[in-house]
Each structure stands twice: as C-alpha cells, then as structure tokens.
Amino acid sequence: MGYTLNFDAVWRSFDRLLAGLGLSLMLAIVAIAIGCVIGLVVAFALRSPSGLLRRPAGLYVTVIRNTPILVLVLFTYFALPQLGVRLDKINSFIATLAIYSGAYLAEVFRAGLIAVPPGLREAGLAIGLTEMQIRTSITLPVMLRNVLPALSSTFISLFKDTSLAAAIAVPELTFEARKINVETFRVVETWIVASCLYVATCTVLAALMRRIERRLAILR
C-alpha cells in the first residue's frame, strides 16, 4: 500500500468545506427550530385526553419515525413537485428535516411531560392558573429541564443528518467534500478533514448543551 498522505489539495479547497459546514449548520438550526415547535405541539397533543388530537399526532410520529430520512428527502424533493408542491433544494431539505426532527423531538418532549409530577398542575389550578398558564409557566419549563440531556444527543443526531442533503445536491459539507474528492482524487485526506469538521462541530454543540444543562438544572 503506497498511499502517501498529502493534504495540500484539501487545504486549497478548505474554504469551500467551511462554507459547506456553514450551510450544514444553517440547515440544522432552521430545521431543528421548526422541529422543536412541531415537537412541542405534537407532544402536548399526544398527551391530550382528546382522541381528535392524539390520533393524528400518533400517526405523524409513527409514519415519520418509521421512514428512512433519505427516503423522506428524496420524496420531498422529487415526488412532491409532481403533486404540485415545488420547493428549491434548500427549502425542500429544511422542510424534510423539520418534519423529521419534529417526530423525534415530539417523543423526547412526550417522555419529559410524563416525568412532570401531576401534582404541579393541581397546585397551579389551586392558585387559579388556567390550563394554558400552567402549560407555559410550569409544565413546559419543568419538562424542558427534564429532557435537556436527551435533547443534546437528538440535536447532534439531527445535525449529522444534514449530510443527507448531499443526495439532492445541496452544497453542504458532505456535498462539498465529495466534489473536492472528485476534483483532486485526494480521497482519504478529503474525508478525514470532513469527518474532523463534523466531530469538532458536534463536540462544541455537546459542550454548549452541557453548559445550558448546568445552568438550568433543577437543584435537588
């Protein structure tokens, strides 16, 4: 095996990898932000006494979680236009990741809601709060603190899923790496550098989440 590592070609294109990483982060942040809103609404719907809310929410979570994300990406980009929904590459991927993360986050939030003692709601009712005030002032903040550790790994997972946008030629990190690979033939070097960028980003993300966790921890 006479492969000699030579990173020169990769370094010359490094700014393109960074630009790709920037786009990856943008995709993740926008999609996860939307996904969090979807996840919260769906999580409360899943816990609702009304089947009218619970059943569609359950169906959404089941369908999305049991479909590979690559299939969802391809479906949204290639199949939806046939049905009259036309989105550009980036918006199509953001929509897909948002819907996909919504289902996973809904499950995370639902588990967090189960862990909120029912007595807190009763204490809220007893001082005259409405159900909606209890949700926003008590249930939600307590639940979020419960799920922060689980949320951290879900976020990291979802960030890495942005690499699937390469399948529809969104110029994010993986797509740029593949292009550089093809142009320079520095296969090993390109993918080593790309992997390092993913690892570094996820490490920073995890550290950030741990900080938030520590700051918001419920003291026991």
Partner 1 sequence: MTKLLEIRDLHKRYGATEVLKGVDCDMAKGDVVCVIGSSGSGKTTMLRCINMLEEFQGGTIRINDEEIGYETVGGMRRRKREREIARQRLLTGMAFQQFNLFPHLTALDNVTLGLIKVKKLSRAEARTIAERWLERVGLLARKDHYPGQLSGGQQQRVAIARAIAMNPLLMLFDEVTSALDPELVNEVLQVIKDLARDGMSMLIVTHEMRFAYEVANRVIFMNQGRIGEEGDPREMFVTPKTERLAEFLKTSTFR
Q: Does 48 bind partner 1 (CB under 8 A)?
A: no
Binding flags for partner 1, 117-156, as an x/- string (CB under 8 A): x-xx-xxxxxxxxxx-x---xx--xx--x-----------
What is the nearest approach in angstroms of partner 1 to the Cβ of residue 109?
16
Closest CA relative to residue 218, chosen from 120, 89, 102, 94: 120
User: Do residues 202 and 160 lie in contact, with contact meaning Cβ atoms separated by under 8 Å?
Assistant: yes
What is the nearest approach in angstroms of partner 1 to the Cβ of residue 120?
6
What is the nearest approach in angstroms of partner 1 to the Cβ of residue 130?
5
Centre a 10 Å sphere on the Cβ of residue 70 and count the other Cβ atoms it contains: 13
User: Do residues 32 and 158 lie in contact, with contact meaning Cβ atoms separated by under 8 Å?
Assistant: yes
Q: Smaller CB distance to partner 1: residue 144 or 167? A: 144
DSSP state of 186: -
Rg value, the chain, Cα: 21
Binding flags for partner 1, 66-105, as an x/- string (CB under 8 A): ----------------------------------------
187-216 positions binding partner 1, by CB under 8 A:
216
Q: Smaller CB distance to partner 1: residue 84 or 117? A: 117
Q: Smaller CB distance to partner 1: residue 84 or 118? A: 118
**CA dist., res. 110 & res. 27, Å (int):** 25
* ∠ Cα 21 23 162 (to 5°): 80
Report the helix count and the strand count for the chain, using DSSP H and E. 10, 0
* Interacting residue ranges for partner 1, rule: CB under 8 A: 117, 119-120, 122-131, 133, 137-138, 141-142, 145, 216, 218-220
